[in-house]
Structure formats: structure tokens, C-alpha cells
Structure 1
Amino acid sequence: MKTKILVSACLMGHKVRYNGSEKAALTATLKDWHAQGRLVTHCPELAAGLSVPRLPAEIVSGTGQDVMAGRARILESDGTDVTEHYQLAAWLALKAAQVAGCSAALLTDGSPTCGSDNIYSGHFNGQKRDGMGVAAALLNAHGITVFPESRLEELIDWVKERENDSV
């Protein structure tokens, strides 16, 4: 059985990021996987009803795990608390992954939703810190292996090893 992978819509060229841009990371492998029906393209933030464009948002005083546990908040750059929208985004990403049978996710690093290796500092100063966003944390907690786009080659190797054949 071919591995299914949840992938951030912005990495597939959809202009859904907070500033209306995309972050296309389409490689030959992603194009092949898409053609094979392995990829489930999803934007958790759009699924939760957030608009494009929208103000930048960052996790304040914690990580995605802390937000999901109610110990931290997500604020927009103007101070508006959007925690509940992002928590919903995380749950919708998990549901999309589970319904499709995904065992891995390729997400956009830095995002308060999709960051898997790092997120922004929570001070809106352009600095990043180690940590996961809310969707990455929730997916990970439910056994879905999460990779940032910077570790695409690691995901490719993970899929090959898992399937024990060439992809």
C-alpha cells in the first residue's frame, strides 16, 4: 500500500499563506506523489475559516502543544487573540489526515499551525525558536510523522524505508 501524506496547501503552490503567497516546494518527487494520489493537500487555517490575507499570528509563551493544552495563546500582530481558530485548524488537519489514511505530513515550518521544527518567537520580531505549531503537534501526538519542507529528502527516505521499495 502506498503511503499517504498530508501536505500544506502553500507547498503545493496555493496562495493561502497569511500574506496571500505560496511557498511552492514542488519537486519531481512531490509531482510524482501527487500524480499517484498519495498527497492530501490541505490548509488548516483556511479550513478553520481564516481569511487570505490575514494578519501574521504567533504563539505567545509556549508551543503548539501548550496552545492545545490551554497553556498558551496565539495572537495576531495587532494583539487579537485567535487561539480558538488555530485550535480548530489543528483538529481539522488531524481529521483530514485520519480520514485519508495519512501516516505522514509535510508542513510549512515557522507557522503557528504547521511549524514542525520551529515557530516564530511570539514577539513579532522575525526571530524563530524551536517548537511545533498546533497542527504539527496534534498530528504528531496522534502518531502521524511530521516533516518540515526543509527535510523533504528525509521524508522521501522515510517513505522508501516504510514501503521497502523505490518510490
Structure 2
Amino acid sequence: MDRLPAVAVSACLAGERCTYKASSNLIEGYGELAVLCRPVLVCPEVMGGLATPRDPAEIQGNKVVSCRGTDVTCEYERGAAEALRLAQEAGCAFALLKENSPSCGCGHVYDGTFSHTLVEGDGITARAFKREGIATFGESQIDALIEAIHAERL
């Protein structure tokens, strides 16, 4: 059997308790994905030096700011760089990322007002992955990711 493809996965989607609330976002279908690939678990926020739990943060212009007004851009950028390094080192062509996150959100993120309003855009890590050619999928797109993995293996 040929080697399973590596896929970068937001650690919270795999059941790690690393969200800002110190909970997980384990998704249905992760088990199926995990047997089709070699998951490379990443939590850019933690990898960037932020604690768990931590204050929620949102993108405001070119910065990432916590709900208390603390600029955490450096931590998000550091975590994105580390997550990208690990993904590239493992040879990831795909990533499954936590939707709406200021780090991992792909397609939509919160608007920076802490009003639960979504706008089009990508989180810091999703941007880095896309810039380097890693195809990103949000958790609601797990079936499309599984199809893409099957298609690549043909």
C-alpha cells in the first residue's frame, strides 16, 4: 500500500482541547478522514504562544485583537508560520481548518466587532497555507476534502 497523504488539521477539529475556551471542536467524519491520511495536527494560536484558555480574538484590519483590546498579531503570525512549517515538512497538499477562526478561518471570519458577524475573508494561517499552494477546506467541507484525497490517490 502506498503512503497515506499528510493533511494539516486544526487540532481542535481532531478533539484537542485547544480552543480559546479550552474545549474541542471534534467533528463528525474526523475518524473517516484520519484513516485516509496522516493528520498533522496544528493549533496556530497555541503554537504562537497563546494560552488555553485565552480571550477570543478577531481580525481588525491588519491586526488580530483580543476582546480586551490586546494586539495578538505577532502570536497569530508566529503560529501561522510554525503551522505552515510543519505542514510543508510533512508534505501536506491539503488542510482541514476551523471555520470562522481569525487563524484558521477559510472563506469567512468574524468582522472584528465581536458581534458574531461573519464577513468574507481568511484567517492568518489559512492565508499562509493558500499562499503556499496548500488547498484549504473548512470543517463543513470535510466530504469535499475526502473526495479530493481519493481523487489524488487514483
Q: TM-score normalized by structure 1?
A: 0.87
1:33 deviates by 4.2
Residue in 1 that maps onto 2:41: 41
Residue 41 of structure 1 aligns to which amino acid in structure 2? Answer: L
Measure the CA separation in 2 of the matches of 1:44 and 1:26.
22
Q: Secondary structure at the match of 2:149?
A: helix
Residue in 2 that maps onto 1:106: 96
Q: After the TM superposition, which segments of 4 or more aligned residues of structure 1 sit over 4 Å from their partners?
A: none
Measure the CA separation in 2 of the matches of 1:104 and 1:37.
10
Residue in 2 that maps onto 1:149: 139
1:4 deviates by 1.1
Measure the CA separation in 2 of the matches of 1:114 and 1:104.
13
Measure the CA separation in 2 of the matches of 1:119 and 1:100.
27
Measure the CA separation in 2 of the matches of 1:139 and 1:114.
9
Q: TM-score normalized by structure 2?
A: 0.94
The CA deviation string for residues 43-85 of structure 1, in whole angstroms up to 9 with x for no partner, is 1111111101100100002xxxxxxxxxx11100011111111
Indicate how the Cα distance of structure 1 residues 26 and 40 shifts in structure 2: closer, same or farther if over 3 A, else same: farther
Residue 14 of structure 2 aligns to which amino acid in structure 1? Answer: M
Residue in 2 that maps onto 1:82: 72
User: Is the CA contact (8 Å cut-off) linking 1:4 and 1:38 kept in structure 2?
Assistant: yes
Q: Secondary structure at the match of 2:81?
A: helix
Residue in 1 that maps onto 2:119: 129
1:2 deviates by 2.7
Residue in 2 that maps onto 1:57: 57
Contiguous gaps of at least 5 residues in structure 1 = 62-71
The CA deviation string for residues 22-47 of structure 1, in whole angstroms up to 9 with x for no partner, is 110142xx324434651111111111
User: Is the CA contact (8 Å cut-off) linking 1:12 and 1:26 kept in structure 2?
Assistant: no
Q: How many residues align?
A: 152
Contiguous gaps of at least 5 residues in structure 2 = none
User: Is the CA contact (8 Å cut-off) linking 2:58 and 2:64 kept in structure 1?
Assistant: yes
